């Protein structure tokens, strides 16, 4: 029994039918050879592992193939049986010279080629020089080569391969027929790997194969090497966890939970999941890149696209993330994308990843621009609707969820807060990172009465069912008392969000009267005042709506003071 042959070698294509993902190239070459318009020199370019040298060898064989009966003409379908085909395949043909320019960059190396190129081929139809990584040649070597390319001999062909076409002098390029080898699309790579796994009797999980294909970044060779490694590690059973471990990825489940935590606004959970993943050996940059993949997949689900090769458990978690909606996922993507670029340059990638997650958590609960726009005209309509519903919503709920023993354990460690109004509650939520709860209270809760440990509220339409119990839990955890939350009759009292919005409208109309604002509106026809940021607000985001008006006065005064400076800037 011969020794094991690695997959990348065993499945190296020996003709264009088995070369995957390069249909355009094959078509062009076939046409050129059929019309007898084959150039004297070619340059094959593309990222590593897409099959440049493989293609070069297939071309060399095709040009020299004589067919099993020795009478065939050159074609792009070498028979792989005739003498020339077999000797070229094994790398022993005297007329086919392969050279790696990466290790032979000098003029002397190229001179040998140039000198021998004037002689006719010994036995083949064409003498063929394959020069890999041609961009590595020295300037002198290129110049010497150029002379040969300018006066090509009928029976000589040059095939250059390069990963960096821009480094090849234009004088050379202009004398070559150029072929761009494409990166292999992920789906094609997945199919290819799956087929080979079946032939090789390697058991694979679809998600594992997909991850291998992703990791190979469009390179068939790399993907096969990875499949080799994974099947060795897993004793012919390639599971997702084996591939994840091998690639230094955090587990898909952990990453899904991580993204979910970020979108839910749970900073503590997000940071602890990140730490676990990093401790387990995952690279911070890789984690962020994986989070981007998940965001992308969730967005596809949110736009009703089908995802293939995904297990039910992953599908379910992705669907939960998809529920956050496309605008939020798109924003999440933007933040991750920017953060990913930063992490690559960061001296401490883990710290950088932590900061990125914090940014993600703190932007997640903010309404997206379209949500804000949607809410504005609806406010008054909502009020009318809730009022008319009030008669059949006369239910009183009392929620007591956290057990007393659980609470007393927590009480020791937490500073206690006194709650006098809704803003107190929201502030404590925000301090503790419970941003979703804070945002839900702002949006859905109308406070009817608050006298510790009783709080009576009513909820606006669309409030989450578990909101009262979450409020109870939060209040219990932050005070010595057992709170009772009553959900009462709908009231006309505004939510915090409505209060803010009313105040904002007042401020906007006030602001539009300011001379500077008037001037701006005149200068930019169609412009609208959409926001007023006071100096106090920008320092402290939690300023209450009632204080905004007085802030505005201060800031308008400051605005007055700033006007001359602005005018100076104009000059």
Q: How far is the CB of 82 from Zn ion (least distance, A)?
A: 3
Q: Judge contact between 43 and 168, C-beta under 8 A.
A: yes
- Interface residue with Zn ion among 56, 63, 76, 82 (CB under 5 A) is 82
Cα–Cα distance between 208 and 214 in angstroms, integer? 10
Nearer to Zn ion, 95 or 399 (CB): 95
Q: How far is the CB of 42 from Zn ion (least distance, A)?
A: 20
Per CB under 5 A, does 88 bind Zn ion?
no
Helix axes 326-345, 252-264, angle to 10 degrees: 110
Q: How far is the CB of 98 from Zn ion (least distance, A)?
A: 18
Q: How far is the CB of 7 from Zn ion (least distance, A)?
A: 25
Cα–Cα distance between 261 and 218 in angstroms, integer? 32
Cα–Cα distance between 367 and 325 in angstroms, integer? 11
Q: How far is the CB of 72 from Zn ion (least distance, A)?
A: 7
Window contacting Zn ion (CB under 5 A); options: 61-69, 391-399, 406-414, 516-524: 61-69
Window contacting Zn ion (CB under 5 A); options: 57-65, 240-248, 464-472, 520-528: 57-65
Nearer to Zn ion, 64 or 286 (CB): 64
Nearer to Zn ion, 81 or 509 (CB): 81
Per CB under 5 A, does 258 bind Zn ion?
no
Window contacting Zn ion (CB under 5 A); options: 84-92, 266-274, 356-364, 466-474: 84-92
Nearer to Zn ion, 89 or 177 (CB): 89
Beta strands in 34-165 (DSSP E): 41-45, 96-100, 127-132, 156-162
Nearer to Zn ion, 55 or 117 (CB): 55
Three-state DSSP class for residue 294: helix
Q: Judge contact between 161 and 190, C-beta under 8 A.
A: no
Nearer to Zn ion, 38 or 288 (CB): 38
Window contacting Zn ion (CB under 5 A); options: 63-71, 178-186, 200-208, 311-319: 63-71
| Residue 169 φ then ψ, to 5° | -60, 145
Q: How far is the CB of 60 from Zn ion (least distance, A)?
A: 11
Per CB under 5 A, does 65 bind Zn ion?
yes
Q: How far is the CB of 85 from Zn ion (least distance, A)?
A: 3
Tell me which long-range contacts 545-552 makes (C-beta under 8 A, separation of at least 24).
545/496, 545/499, 545/500, 545/502, 545/503, 545/504, 546/503, 548/500, 548/503, 548/504, 548/507, 549/503, 549/506, 549/507, 549/510, 552/507, 552/510, 552/511
Nearer to Zn ion, 63 or 474 (CB): 63
Question: What sign results for the dihedral spanned by CA atoms 266, 271, 274, 280?
Answer: negative
- Interface residue with Zn ion among 19, 25, 33, 79 (CB under 5 A) is 79
Q: How far is the CB of 11 from Zn ion (least distance, A)?
A: 20
Q: How many residues bind Zn ion (CB under 5 A)?
A: 5
Window contacting Zn ion (CB under 5 A); options: 64-72, 263-271, 311-319, 427-435: 64-72
Beta strands in 68-196 (DSSP E): 96-100, 127-132, 156-162, 177-180
Q: Judge contact between 16 and 76, C-beta under 8 A.
A: yes
Q: Judge contact between 497 and 518, C-beta under 8 A.
A: no
Q: How far is the CB of 57 from Zn ion (least distance, A)?
A: 12
Q: Judge contact between 107 and 101, C-beta under 8 A.
A: no
Tell me which residue of 102, 90, 159 sits closest to 129, measured CA to CA.
Answer: 159
Q: Judge contact between 318 and 253, C-beta under 8 A.
A: no
Beta strands in 205-326 (DSSP E): 237-238
Q: How far is the CB of 274 from Zn ion (least distance, A)?
A: 57
Window contacting Zn ion (CB under 5 A); options: 10-18, 74-82, 494-502, 508-516: 74-82
Q: Judge contact between 27 and 136, C-beta under 8 A.
A: no
**DSSP one-letter code for 309:** S
Q: How far is the CB of 83 from Zn ion (least distance, A)?
A: 8
Per CB under 5 A, does 58 bind Zn ion?
no
- Interface residue with Zn ion among 26, 44, 58, 85 (CB under 5 A) is 85
Strand partners, 266: 434
**206-to-190, 219, 226, 249, 517 alpha-carbon distances in Å:** 8, 19, 15, 17, 60
Q: Judge contact between 56 and 89, C-beta under 8 A.
A: no
Q: How far is the CB of 44 from Zn ion (least distance, A)?
A: 21
Window contacting Zn ion (CB under 5 A); options: 77-85, 158-166, 213-221, 516-524: 77-85
Nearer to Zn ion, 86 or 182 (CB): 86
Nearer to Zn ion, 78 or 284 (CB): 78
Distance in angstroms between the alpha carbons of the first and the last residue of the chain: 86
CA 164 to chain centre: 25
Q: How far is the CB of 95 from Zn ion (least distance, A)?
A: 14
- In 10 A of CB 22, how many CB atoms? 24
Nearer to Zn ion, 83 or 484 (CB): 83
Nearer to Zn ion, 78 or 339 (CB): 78
* 454-459 and 484-487 beta bridge pairing: parallel
Nearer to Zn ion, 56 or 65 (CB): 65
Window contacting Zn ion (CB under 5 A); options: 73-81, 142-150, 207-215, 229-237: 73-81
Cα–Cα distance between 429 and 435 in angstroms, integer? 7
Nearer to Zn ion, 75 or 191 (CB): 75
Window contacting Zn ion (CB under 5 A); options: 14-22, 62-70, 237-245, 377-385: 62-70
* 156-162 and 41-45 beta bridge pairing: parallel
Q: How far is the CB of 123 from Zn ion (least distance, A)?
A: 13
Window contacting Zn ion (CB under 5 A); options: 17-25, 58-66, 156-164, 222-230: 58-66
The footprint of Zn ion (CB under 5 A) covers 65, 78-79, 82, 85
């Amino acid at each position: 029994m011969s020794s094991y042959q690695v997959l990348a070698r065993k499945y190296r294509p020996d003709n264009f039918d088995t070369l995957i993902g390069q249909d355009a190239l094959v078509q062009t070459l076939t046409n050129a050879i059929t019309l007898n318009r084959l150039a004297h020199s070619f340059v094959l370019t593309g990222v590593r592992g897409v099959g440049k040298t493989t293609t070069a060898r297939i071309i060399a064989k095709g040009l020299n193939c004589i067919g099993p009966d020795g009478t065939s003409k050159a074609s792009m379908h070498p028979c792989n049986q005739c003498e020339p085909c077999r000797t070229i395949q094994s790398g022993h043909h005297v007329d086919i010279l392969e050279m790696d320019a990466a290790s032979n960059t000098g003029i002397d190396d190229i001179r040998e080629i140039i000198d021998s190129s004037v002689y006719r081929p010994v036995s083949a139809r064409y003498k063929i020089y394959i020069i890999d990584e041609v961009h590595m040649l020295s300037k002198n070597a290129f110049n010497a080569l150029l002379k040969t390319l300018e006066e090509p001999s009928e029976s000589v062909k040059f095939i250059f391969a390069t990963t960096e076409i821009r480094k090849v002098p234009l004088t050379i390029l202009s004398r070559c027929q150029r072929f761009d080898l494409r990166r292999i699309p992920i789906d094609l790579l997945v199919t290819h790997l799956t087929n080979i796994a079946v032939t090789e009797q390697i058991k694979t999980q679809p998600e594992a194969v997909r991850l291998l294909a992703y990791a190979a970044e469009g390179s068939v060779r790399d993907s096969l090497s990875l499949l080799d490694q994974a099947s060795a590690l897993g004793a012919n059973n390639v599971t997702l966890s084996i591939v994840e471990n091998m690639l230094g990825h955090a587990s898909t489940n952990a990453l899904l939970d991580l993204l979910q935590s970020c979108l839910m606004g749970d900073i503590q959970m997000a940071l602890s999941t990140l730490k676990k993943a990093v401790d387990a050996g995952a690279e911070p940059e890789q984690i962020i890149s994986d989070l981007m993949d998940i965001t992308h997949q969730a967005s596809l689900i949110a736009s009703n696209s089908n995802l293939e090769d995904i297990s039910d458990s992953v599908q379910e978690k992705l669907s939960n993330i998809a529920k956050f909606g496309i605008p939020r996922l798109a924003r999440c993507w933007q933040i991750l994308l920017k953060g990913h670029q930063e992490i690559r340059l960061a001296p401490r990638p883990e710290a950088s990843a932590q900061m990125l997650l914090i940014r993600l958590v703190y932007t997640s609960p903010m309404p997206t621009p379209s949500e804000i726009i949607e809410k504005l005209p609806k406010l008054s309509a909502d009020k009318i609707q809730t009022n008319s519903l009030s008669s059949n919503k006369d239910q009183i709920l009392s929620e007591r969820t956290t057990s007393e023993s659980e609470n007393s354990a927590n009480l020791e460690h937490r500073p206690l807060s006194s709650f006098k109004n809704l803003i107190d509650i929201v502030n404590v939520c925000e301090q503790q990172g419970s941003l979703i709860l804070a945002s839900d209270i702002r949006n859905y809760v109308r406070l009817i009465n608050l006298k510790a440990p009783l709080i009576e509220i009513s909820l606006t339409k669309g409030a989450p069912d578990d909101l009262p119990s979450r409020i109870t839990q939060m209040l219990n955890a932050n005070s010595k008392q057992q709170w009772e939350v009553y959900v009462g009759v709908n009231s006309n009292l505004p939510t915090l969000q409505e209060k803010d919005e009313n105040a904002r409208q007042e401020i906007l109309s006030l602001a539009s009267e300011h001379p500077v604002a008037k001037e701006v509106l005149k200068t930019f026809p169609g412009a609208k005042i959409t926001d007023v940021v006071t100096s106090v607000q920008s320092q402290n985001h939690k300023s209450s709506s009632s204080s905004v008006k007085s802030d505005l006065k201060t800031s308008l005064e400051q605005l007055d003071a700033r006007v001359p400076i602005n005018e100076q800037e104009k000059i």
